[in-house]
Amino acid sequence: MSINIKTPEEIEKMRIAGRLAADVLHMIKPYVQPGITTNELDQICHDYIVNEQQAIPAPLNYRGFPKSICTSINHQVCHGIPSDKALKKGDIVNIDITVIKDEFHGDTSKMFYLGDPGIKARRISEIAHECLLLGIEQVKPGGHMGDIGQAIQTHAESKNCSVVREYCGHGIGRVFHEDPQVLHYGKANTGIVMETGMIFTIEPMINAGKRHVKLLNDQWTVVTKDHSLSAQWEHTILVTDTGYEVLTLRPGDEI
């Protein structure tokens, strides 16, 4: 496994790419309303990334993915393909944004509520966000990747939820997905040791039911096998000398 430790110049470019990705999620928020289609959201994001940010939507044509963003609704776990189906009141949707600016990637996602979600929908979204924060708090030089996984897994399972194991966080830079893999389950004090200059995503997928998932016939959309709700949040994280820096903070939002 070859992990790319970023130079100060590369880190600054990653800060820019991360900020742009965060800005897209901030921009799209007012549009996420009942009645809009995920295709419409995709087009709005695409136009903003290309025309306003002068950047590239990384998912478009990545390994054949047909759209510029991922939209995963309710029991969809990740990699949902935008479509002409309208979002409806009570839905929850994860919007996953990755932009490329000056060859470097910024990758982030968050959950959105359509109107007022039900108790179960709000609960799974909040637990997934708590898992992300607990994972981020483990990031520091000398820490282990397993520390991140254990923090996430322990919290999710304490809430009678489960962690999807087939998909994980990843190193990121000039390459969309690079080493190391960042598992969202595991044991503390195991795995790769974090070093200053590493940049990777933490993006736990948390299910309200069992952890098992299946891939739909479109070969992209992942759903829960038991049709239970799923939620995901994602940030791109830099390991600093003293801890971490979140490169994808949204304007006006907390982590």
Answer yes or no: is pLDDT of 238 > 80: yes
Average pLDDT over residues 225-244: 98
Amino acid at 221: T
pTM of the full structure: 0.97
Q: What is the mean pLDDT of the chain?
A: 97
Amino acid at 57: P
Question: What is the Rg, in whole angstroms, of the alpha carbon atoms belonging to the chain?
Answer: 17
Say what the pLDDT of residue 251 is: 81
Q: How many CB atoms lie within 10 A of CB 248?
A: 26
Buried b (16+ CB within 10 A) or exposed e, 29-52: eeebeeeeebbebbebbbebbeee
Report the alpha-carbon angle 246-250-251, nearest 5: 125
Say what the pLDDT of residue 40 is: 98
Q: Which among 40, 76, 82 is positioned nearest to 60, based on CA atoms?
A: 82
- What is the C-alpha to C-alpha distance for residues 253 and 255, in angstroms, rounded to an integer? 6
- What is the C-alpha to C-alpha distance for residues 198 and 247, in angstroms, rounded to an integer? 12
Average pLDDT over residues 4-23: 98
- pLDDT-based confidence at residue 253 (cuts at 50, 70, 90): confident
Domains and CATH numbers, the chain: 8-246 (3.90.230.10)
Question: Residue 229 — left, alpha, or beta (φ > 0 → left; ψ -120 to 50 → alpha)?
Answer: beta
> Which SS3 state, helix, strand or coil, does residue 244 take?
strand
Asked whether the beta carbons of 68 and 42 are under 8 A apart, the reply is yes
* pLDDT tens digits for range 24-76: 999 999 999 999 999 999 999 999 999 999 999 999 999 999 999 999 999 99
Count of residues for the chain? 255
Backbone angles phi and psi of 145, in degrees to 5: -60, -35
Residue with tokens 């309208």: 86
Asked whether the beta carbons of 236 and 248 are under 8 A apart, the reply is yes
- pLDDT-based confidence at residue 254 (cuts at 50, 70, 90): confident
- What is the C-alpha to C-alpha distance for residues 118 and 198, in angstroms, rounded to an integer? 39
Answer yes or no: is pLDDT of 1 > 80: no
Answer yes or no: is pLDDT of 3 > 70: yes
